[in-house]
Amino acid sequence: MALIVQKYGGTSVGNADRIRNVAQRIKAHRDRGDQIVVVVSARSGVTNELIDRAKSLNPFPDEREMDALLAVGEQETIALTAIALHAIGIPAVSRTGAQAGIITDDAHTRARILDVTGGDIKAQLDDGKVVIVAGFQGLSTDHEVTTLGRGGSDLSAIAMAWALKADLCQIYTDVDGVYTADPRIVPDARKIDVLSYDEMLELASSGSKVMQARSVEFAQKYDVVFEVRSSFNDKPGTIVKAEAPNMEQILVRGVAVDKNQVKFTLNDVPDRPGVAATLFQALGAGGVVVDMIIQNIGRGGLANLSFTVSKEDVPRADKVMVEVIKTLGGGNLQPKADIAKVSAVGIGMRTHSGVAAKFFGALAKAGVNILMITTSEIKISVAIDPAEADRAAQAVHAAFDLGKS
């Protein structure tokens, strides 16, 4: 008998038929004799609807009240899922985040999990029940309802799996798993069977939308093995777990494309110590997350600085740049440019040479012009013209032989 935590996202519980489908899936697992804890999100669209409703009343709603409001979405789905399980004869009971003992700090709308007690979930499981837990929400140490921010339900599931010492945590979603590339861009992309946490993290931060980085970080920190799989079919998904020696044999695990970046360039900046620090501290203080950075020295010993930010951060970055130029006493801000980031990720890079050569060779052969380069121990990324992004991804994918055999 295994203890399995299953997480179903908003699409998987989006309407009555889908909730029934989830109930059948839970039943199938339970019929095999497993104990099941289910973490569910709000129906897709509900959280945004609630946010819109609040913002129509107040553009800057109080965060404590927003959490009280948003917690409603998951509370609806836990009750409906329990009710659907009862309809097919499965004993089940719902638990809010508070009841499930998901204890957080008091950073409303983006709370961090401090502990998970599990409440009475073990007793309910031993009593033969399936327990349905509200994802995305917790209770602060001040006994206030909190929410965990984007991707919070995945985090709830992984934290619950850790707390209950579950044998497996299954993240059900609308894709079959993590792919070697986005199949809409690279038609022969394959589902990856096994990934290390580090690779999953690099893929997440490189534009693969499957999971938020912090859920993966939590899993890595507490060594929670999880599987990303589809709630619409029965195919095995992608297992994400700690690195094993044989996983390094593959040089590149996947190729990610992020078309959501904008490049800022500030030319002719007086090149004195602390210029970069001034710029990036100001951006950080302004709430802008900077991704790629390049600095070089141009004519007359003046520095040219380029960096990329995600599109959502552009208005904030614009505001910061105006101030920064005043502070620096110089610099010509160039027109912004949309860029795409194409990355190759794989822990094999750490121990094998030649990966960069093959990567840049593939791009050169495909005639892709590289604007910026960044690397980490297990990733190479280039910023390129968005019009060339798909071609670049296809070329890299083929060069590393990632396609279907």
71 part of the interface to a copy of itself, by CB under 8 A: yes
Q: Please identify, among the stretches 52-60, 171-179, 299-307, 336-344, the one whose residues bind a copy of itself according to the rule CB under 8 A.
A: 52-60
Task: State the DSSP H helix or E strand holding residue 371, giving kind and residue range, or none if neither.
Answer: strand 370-376
Question: In this complex, which beta carbon is closest to a copy of itself, that of residue 94 or of residue 206?
Answer: 94
Q: Which of 8, 163, 28, 146 is nearest to 77 (CA)?
A: 8
Question: Are 374 and 381 within 8 A, CB to CB?
Answer: yes
Q: Which of 3, 21, 61, 375 binds a copy of itself (CB under 8 A)?
A: 61
**Tokens, residue 346:** 């794989």
Q: Which of 24, 28, 48, 58 binds a copy of itself (CB under 8 A)?
A: 58
Considering only residues 137-196, where is the footprint of a copy of itself by CB under 8 A? Answer: none
Q: Which of 75, 97, 228, 82 is nearest to 160 (CA)?
A: 97
Chain centroid offset of residue 131 CA: 25
Which amino acid, 369?
A: N
Here's the x/- map for a copy of itself, 72-101, by CB under 8 A: it reads as x--xx-xxx-xxx-xx-----xx-x-----
**Tokens 């599109």, residue located:** 311
44 part of the interface to a copy of itself, by CB under 8 A: no
Question: In this complex, which beta carbon is closest to a copy of itself, that of residue 140 or of residue 212?
Answer: 140
User: Minimum distance between the CB of residue 141 and a copy of itself, rounded to whole angstroms?
Assistant: 16
**Tokens, residue 118:** 């599990």
Question: Are 179 and 120 within 8 A, CB to CB?
Answer: no
Question: In this complex, which beta carbon is closest to a copy of itself, that of residue 96 or of residue 215?
Answer: 96
Question: Are 121 and 154 within 8 A, CB to CB?
Answer: no
Q: Which residues of 294-330 are buried (b: 16+ CB within 10 A; e: fewer)?
A: beeeeeeeebbbbbbbbeebbeebbebbeebbeebee
Q: Which residues contact 401 (CB under 8 A, 6 or more apart)?
A: none
Question: In this complex, which beta carbon is closest to a copy of itself, that of residue 89 or of residue 300?
Answer: 89
User: Minimum distance between the CB of residue 83 and a copy of itself, rounded to whole angstroms?
Assistant: 4
337 part of the interface to a copy of itself, by CB under 8 A: no
Question: In this complex, which beta carbon is closest to a copy of itself, that of residue 71 or of residue 181?
Answer: 71
Number of residues engaging a copy of itself in binding (CB under 8 A): 31
Q: Phi first, then psi: what are they for 367, rounded to 5°?
A: 70, 30
Q: Please identify, among the stretches 15-23, 104-112, 233-241, 388-396, the one whose residues bind a copy of itself according to the rule CB under 8 A.
A: 15-23
Q: Using CB under 8 A as the criterion, which residues of the chain lie in contact with a copy of itself when the complex forms?
A: 16, 19-20, 50, 53-54, 56-58, 61-62, 64-66, 68-69, 71-72, 75-76, 78-80, 82-84, 86-87, 93-94, 96
